Chain A
Amino acid sequence: MEGSLVEELDPELMNPKRFLIATLLYVLGPRTMGDLVKSLGLTWGDLDSHVRRLREKGYVEVRKALTLRGPRTVVKLTGRGVEEYERLAERLRRLLSAAQR
């Protein structure tokens, strides 16, 4: 059972950049693409490809929103995204405690 813990880790979220995007959305709630670029220091192309990947998995939803500063693209973690994020954290904790035993 312990051996399968590593394989159980979600490869989509274990990518460092996608993990950071998910973490920021998890803590601070929905953000615009501009916010994510500034906060994480990613390029627009990089962010776009990672957000697309997360959207394909159903972890985030992307919508256009009208704000006071004009139209913006807002990214939000879905219910499934939140579940997967918390599951990943739980599995990592289990993996660590298994390794320490």
Chain B
Amino acid sequence: MNVTTSEIVSRTGASPQLSGVLPASSGGTFGRLLRFAVANIRRRPERFVLSVLGIALAIAAVTVVRTISASFAITGGDSVTNAIGTHAIWVVPAQGVTYDSAAGALVSNGPPSDITLPKGWTGAEMIAGVWHSPHGQVAVYGVAGTPRGRAVLSAELAKRLGVADGGTLRLGSASVTVAVKGGGPAVTVSPGLARDLVGNTGWWVADEPAVDQGRNDLGRLFGTAVGLPFTQNPAQAPAKNGHGLVYDTTTGSGALSFAQKYASAFSGQVTDSTLGLISVIGLVLGFVIAVSSFLASVQERRREFGIMSSIGLADEVLYFFLVESGVVFVAAWLVGVLGAGIAVWAVLPQLATPVAWAQASATVAAFLPAMAIVGAIVPVHRLLQQRPVALLAD
């Protein structure tokens, strides 16, 4: 044993009646516990490294998945805002809508629903499809009010298509003047030109009459008037054999905006997929490694803890393990999230952003206190069930 009982008592400062007669050491109680944990880690460095490695791999797996999920959430929220703006009602066709990753925008899978706007409501059909340009797939939105000879696009998209503000862009058989404006991922043109380019695929957007402003049942009101089902839940998909679905994009009675709910549904596709399931199993295995490592440590230090229990320091054993467990998990988290960042950057650069990685790292950090506490309590609980004499007899 590297640390004597008197040193333990002195370092932890756990026994007030003994601390007066034993030499004091610097640092507060936590500092002493930390030094004790470091001393134990140095006693079996290879086990510490392996435990950290195992848990770090598990954390890296979860962080990669959460990074993809967070990235999807950001993309989902932005894409729905770009697609429908601030309109209160969004009517999608029975075939639904898809996020086209190559175009970076939401596009429709079918023709706009065959509806007539109820009296007093304002809105229009919007064409939304994918144009296979010489520079790759580009989303095209046909928005009412856009002049036929004009195409509005972001500076980023203009650069990708090799055009400048005021220049000419060839869209199929038509030539249009480019206006660089906004930051959306799609080319906005007149509905007629969009239909010629991508076909009759799209959706409806609508806004309520002035008398109905502020109501939280606009979806029901509009859906009943046009004879379509309605919902405020973006995770609900339209019935395949139906005529479309009305999304009420107002906040309604909930706290989250429609874009936030859409983002959540979008990211849920990742966490609920095979990817999410596998990473959770990995995290469970990482936790098993932590518990197994602490159990081995408890087994090897039975006599040491027997001495501590016999002089009234039984509870302090738990603190030792909590701090040691905290050190292991924090080290594993640091290694894991850094490893995940490198893996995402090297393998999935298109899927993740630094913001998504930071969000994922913070989410994973939220699991750690619970894992560290339970990981320490399980082995120590077994130890504390035994009498000091039984521990000393081994």
Asked if A and B are interacting partners, one says: no
Task: Using CB atoms and an 8 Å cutoff, list the residues of chain A in contact with chain B.
Answer: none
